[in-house]
């Protein structure tokens, strides 16, 4: 069964970004699930049993950095294997972000 987790790190402090709202959506905008990062900046089990296809992770970065240039970060990714774990980390600052497929 596929599973999805995420981790948000604050590049300005070098620490986890706690309480960042995260939403998982299908491409049509329908919401699969919502959560907030924990004190370690993680959402360990955001979703399980995802069907193959494209999804979007929407991070409410404006709620974390009120004066950010990027009030929302949207990461679109593809689920290709029903038995795989997908981990999508986000490295965040008020004026930049990066992401990658983690393990």
Whole-number Å distance between alpha carbons of 68 and 70: 5
Structural domain for 50, as ranges: 3-99
Q: Calculate the CA dihedral of residues 44, 21, 33, 27 and round it to 10 degrees.
A: -110
pLDDT level of residue 82 (50, 70, 90 thresholds) = confident
> How far apart, in Å, are the Cα atoms of 35 and each of 5, 13, 92?
11, 23, 18
What CATH number is associated with residue 61? 2.60.40.180
For residues 68 and 43, give the distance between their C-alpha atoms in angstroms, rounded to a whole number.
22
Question: Tokens 């970004």 belong to which residue?
Answer: 17
Q: How many domains does the chain have?
A: 1
Rounded distance between C-alpha atoms, residue 1 and residue 8, angstroms: 24
What confidence tens digit (pLDDT) does each residue in 16-75 have?
999 999 999 998 999 999 999 999 999 999 999 999 999 999 999 999 999 999 999 999
Could you count the other beta carbons within 10 Å of the beta carbon of residue 20?
A: 24
Asked if residue 7 lies in contact with residue 91, where contact means CB atoms within 8 angstroms, the answer is: no
The model carries a pTM of 0.94
């Amino acid at each position: 069964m596929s599973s999805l987790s995420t981790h948000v790190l604050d590049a300005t402090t070098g620490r986890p970004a706690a309480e960042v709202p995260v939403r998982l959506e299908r491409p049509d905008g329908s919401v699969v699930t919502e959560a907030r990062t924990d004190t370690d900046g993680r959402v360990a089990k955001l979703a399980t049993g995802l069907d193959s296809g494209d999804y979007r992770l929407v991070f409410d970065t404006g709620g974390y950095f009120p004066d950010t240039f990027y009030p929302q970060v949207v990461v679109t990714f593809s689920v290709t294997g029903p038995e795989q774990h997908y981990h999508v980390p986000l490295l965040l600052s008020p004026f930049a972000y990066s992401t990658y497929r983690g393990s």
